[in-house]
Amino acid sequence: MTTLIAVQGDITRYPSEVIVNAANSSLLGGGGVDGAIHRAAGPELLHACRLLGGAQTGEAKMTDAFHITTAQKIVHTVGPVYSGLGPERSAQLLADCYRNSLDLAADYLSICFPAISTGVYGYPIAEATRVAVATIRQWLTQHPATALETITLIAFSDADLAVIRDALVVNP
């Protein structure tokens, strides 16, 4: 049985076999979580991401974690920019990020997600978290044989952690 939990912390130091990078479409680094992961993983990550040729919104691609010693792999997924797409299309693309990331990590024991698209991409944290929790739970129902034992939603701040925990309770 897979456990879905929420914690506050630094995704680059959180012990999880797979961590998820909220990347931009180039996959070559940026700000926020993306920049932190690239800095922690070292220059080898940039080289590996160049070989991937970028990604479309909703796609996910995997690399080694390089110098991030608490993880084996990094899944890079491109979340939607919230403004201009409308809530329904944004939710579909965000759900794709979670589904595609879980598909890549299905044979690992643990995966850790940041709050995808909630930084500079402007997705409201409460809405994004509802999409994340519903998508993860649906994916688990459809993949009962997954090796995943733990799925972690990691928050950067106390306020974000409270929103994520509320979503876990409201969407059991």
Rounded to whole angstroms, the Cα distance separating 23 from 52 reads 13
Query: Catalytic one among 10, 34, 96, 166?
Result: 34
Is 34 marked active-site?
A: yes
Q: What is the DSSP string of 51-62?
A: HHT---TT-EEE
Helices (runs of H) and strands (runs of E) counted in the chain = 5, 6
Angle at 129 between CA 128 and CA 132, to 5 degrees: 90
Largest Cα–Cα separation, the chain: 41
Residues with catalytic roles:
34
